[in-house]
Amino acid sequence: MEHRRLGRTELQVSSIGMGCVTFGREIDEQTSFRVLDHAIECGINLLDTAEAYASGASETVLGRWIASRNTRDRVVLATKVTAPLSRTRIVESVEASLKRLQTDRIDLFQLHVWDTEIPLEETLGTLTDLVQQGKLHYIGCSNWSAWQLAKALLASGESGFSRIESVQPPYNLVQREIEPDLLPLCADQDIGVISYSPLGAGFLTGKYHREAEVPIGTRFDVIPGHQPIYFTENGWRTMEAARRLADEAGCSMIRLALAWVFDNPHVTSVLVGARKPEHVDQAIEAQNDPLAGDLRERMAGL
C-alpha cells in the first residue's frame, strides 16, 4: 500500500482510505471491527468518519475499535462537523467527537459542508484556536467548490488563520465536476485531495438498470436520496457505456470504475466504504491493476 503526503501537511496517508460511513448504519460493530482489522493489515491507515454518520454511531464504533486494538498512533484519524459552523457549534462538535473516538486529538478535522449563514472568519478563527490548543492537527473541507476553497485560502492568508489543507469531494465516472476547477486549484496550492464515492454509492457496480425496479436492500433502496444524483440521463448513459467497456475488457464494472479513479494523479487518497473485508480487497486489486492506456482514454471520454 502506497502512502502519500497529504498536501503540505506532515500526514502520510494511504492511497486507499477507509470510509467509515457504513459503521453503525449498514453493518454492526462486530463486522465493522473485522473490516477495520483487515484494512489495517493491508496497510490502510486513513480512517474517515463524521459526526453525521449514523448520528455519531460511526465515530463510536471507530473509537471502540481504536481503544481495543491500541492503534491510535498507527492511524490518521479524520472526522467532520456539519452546519451550522458557529464557534459554539464547532467547539461542542469537537469535544463530542473526541469523546466518541476515545482520543485527545483529531488528525484531520473537516468542515462537512459550506455554511452560507455563519461568517467564514468565525469558522476559521474557531478552528485555528482548536489547532493551537492541540485538539486538532490540521483542518480540511468536504463538498466545497473551487471558489469556496479559494475564498478560505485567501482569508487564511490575510488573517493568519489555520489553512485548509485538504478537500473531500465525490469523484467517479458520473460525478466529475471537480476536474475543471477544483483539482487544478488543489494542485496549484498543494491541497490534498481525499475523494469519496468511487462507485457512485454503488451505482457503478452494475446492479442497477434504467427500466428495472431498484433491488430491495441495496444502497439506493435504503437511501433513496442517492437516486436524483445518479438516476439521470447522464448517469444512465455513463453507466451503460462503462458496462460495455467492462465487457470488452473482460473485467467487472467495479474494477473498471475503481481503477479509473485510482488512476488520477491529482487524487491523494480514495475513500472506499465496505460492508465486509472482501470489499477492501476489491479496491486493492483494482489499484494494483491499472488501466491500459487506450481503455483509460476511452473512459475519460464518457
Task: Point out the catalytic residue in the list 53, 171, 196, 230.
Answer: 53
pLDDT digits (tens, 9 = 90+) for 239-270: 999 999 999 988 899 999 999 999 999 999 99
Query: From CA 190, how far away is CA 194, in angstroms rounded?
Result: 13
pLDDT digits (tens, 9 = 90+) for 142-188: 999 999 999 999 999 999 999 999 999 999 999 999 999 999 999 99
Give the DSSP letter string of 18-79. EEGGGBTTTB-HHHHHHHHHHHHHTT--EEE--TTGGGGHHHHHHHHHHHHHT-GGGSEEEE
- Model confidence at 110, in pLDDT bands (50, 70, 90)? very high
* Residue 199 pLDDT: 96
pTM of the model: 0.95
Q: Which helix (H) or strand (E) holds 262?
A: helix 253-262
Query: From CA 276, how far away is CA 160, in angstroms rounded?
Result: 44
| Confidence check: pLDDT of 115 > 90 | yes
For residues 113 and 147, is the Cβ–Cβ distance under 8 A? no
Rg (CA), the chain: 19
| Domains along the sequence of the chain with CATH | 3-200+260-291 (3.20.20.100)
Average pLDDT of 30-55? Answer: 97
**In this structure, is the dihedral angle defined by the CA atoms of residues 102, 104, 108 and 111, taken in order, positive or negative?**
positive
| Residue 138 appears among annotated catalytic residues | no
Query: From CA 165, how far away is CA 148, in angstroms rounded?
Result: 13
- Model confidence at 301, in pLDDT bands (50, 70, 90)? confident
- CA distances to 2, 66, 116, 270 from 47, in Å: 15, 11, 28, 11
Tell me the average pLDDT of the chain.
Answer: 95
* Residue 36 pLDDT: 98
Average pLDDT of 229-235? Answer: 93
* Residue 294 pLDDT: 84
For residues 270 and 198, is the Cβ–Cβ distance under 8 A? yes
pLDDT digits (tens, 9 = 90+) for 6-19: 999 999 999 999 99
| Confidence check: pLDDT of 297 > 90 | no
Lookup: cell for 153: 485560502
- CA distances to 160, 167, 244, 300 from 120, in Å: 13, 16, 46, 36
Average pLDDT of 60-75? Answer: 97
Q: What percent of the chain has pLDDT over 90?
A: 85
- Model confidence at 135, in pLDDT bands (50, 70, 90)? very high
